């Protein structure tokens, strides 16, 4: 077994085809089926995303929590921008100390309202590097924001060991610079916040790309993050190849990409199959080739 990453399964989502309607209509069946499928796929957490849920969030999230907990013991990750709904959802969680709050950003009102809730629940938290002015511009701004967030969380009673920093993955369609900045931050994180973990929503990197191509970007991006010790990732658990990477079953591909990140290019002529897919995708994600949707064919 090679290097592993804990998978936060993302598919139980108010915007999802199967789960969305079921959540809105309070139909347990589809939500419970998906929870069982994600558990069987090897998820370490199940992300329950109700979005902003302005009308009924304080009733919806506890309903989703109890619906899912009836069929699986996998820890939950509660995901909403509605702060009242988040608090109500956590009150319904059975094992609060193993659960995850997604997320506390570096926005003052979010920190003020959510840090006391997270401290009371004793849950782990995703610390999202999104500030009052939005997205950090580079790794230095990410580092500064992470220090502010860490200090606020620590002062609120949440130690580094309960924090997962999310440097924010950005779409490759916007260019490779922000992807590189996120990786630079990841390289610094152990020095900035000793004992803290990390996470990234992998599908952000492929957002806006044709659906059938997205999995290739998500998989290679995960391997790139693994070079800097990413501890968890928000994933599509229905992608068996991505889950195999999380479980440490594709170490030869991990080793190849990490060697390329250190400047050791194996050369395209020696590669085929999945290794070639990773090779070409890494070149696009690292900015060595200009991104277009035909990157795998070039």
Q: What is the pLDDT of residues 227-283, one digit of tens each?
A: 999 999 999 999 999 999 999 999 999 999 999 999 999 999 999 999 999 999 999
What is the pLDDT averaged over residues 44-57? 97
Model pLDDT for residues 177-223, shown as the tens digit of each residue: 999 999 999 999 999 999 999 999 999 999 999 999 999 999 999 99
pLDDT at 11 over 90: yes
Going by pLDDT thresholds of 50, 70 and 90, the confidence category of residue 115 is very high
Over residues 72-99, the mean pLDDT reads 97
Give the residue from 87, 74, 20, 18 showing the smallest Cα distance to 47: 74
**pLDDT score at 32:** 98
Whether the per-residue pLDDT at 1 is higher than 90: the answer is no
- Asked whether 240 and 198 are in contact (CB, 8 A), the reply is no
Angle CA 253–259–262, to nearest 5: 150
What ranges in 132-175 are assigned the alpha helix state H? 139-155
- Residue 183: CB atoms within 10 A of its CB come to 20
DSSP, res 83: H
Q: Which residues pair with 158 in a beta bridge?
A: none
User: Which tokens belong to 78?
Assistant: 């509660």
What's the chain's average pLDDT?
A: 97
Domains of the chain: residue spans and CATH: 6-249 (3.20.20.20)
CA 61 and chain centroid, separation: 20
């Amino acid at each position: 077994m090679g290097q592993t990453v804990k998978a936060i399964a993302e598919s139980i989502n108010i915007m999802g085809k199967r789960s969305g309607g079921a959540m809105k209509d309070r139909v347990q069946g589809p939500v419970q089926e998906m929870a069982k499928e994600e558990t069987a796929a090897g998820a370490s957490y199940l992300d329950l995303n109700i979005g902003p849920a302005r009308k009924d969030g304080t009733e919806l999230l506890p309903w989703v929590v109890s619906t899912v907990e009836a069929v699986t013991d996998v820890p939950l990750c509660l995901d909403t921008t509605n702060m009242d709904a988040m608090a109500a959802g956590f009150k319904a969680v059975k094992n609060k100390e193993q659960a995850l709050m997604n997320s506390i950003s570096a926005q003052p009102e979010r920190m003020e309202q959510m840090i006391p809730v997270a401290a009371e629940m004793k849950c782990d938290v995703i610390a999202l590097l999104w500030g009052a002015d939005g997205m950090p511009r580079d790794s230095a701004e990410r580092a500064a924001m992470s220090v502010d967030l860490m200090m606020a969380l620590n002062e609120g009673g949440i130690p580094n060991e309960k924090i997962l920093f999310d440097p924010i993955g950005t779409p490759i369609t916007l260019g490779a610079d922000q992807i590189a900045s996120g990786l630079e931050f990841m390289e610094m994180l152990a020095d900035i916040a000793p004992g803290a973990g990390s996470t990234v929503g992998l599908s952000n990197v492929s957002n806006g790309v044709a659906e059938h191509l997205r999995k290739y970007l998500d998989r290679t991006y995960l391997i790139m993050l693994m070079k800097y010790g990413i501890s968890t990732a928000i994933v599509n658990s229905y992608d068996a190849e991505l889950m195999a990477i999380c479980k440490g079953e594709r170490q030869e591909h991990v080793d190849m990409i990490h060697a390329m990140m250190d400047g050791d290019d194996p050369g395209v002529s020696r590669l085929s199959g999945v290794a070639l897919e990773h090779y070409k995708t890494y070149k696009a994600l690292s900015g060595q080739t200009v991104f277009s949707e035909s990157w795998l064919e070039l």
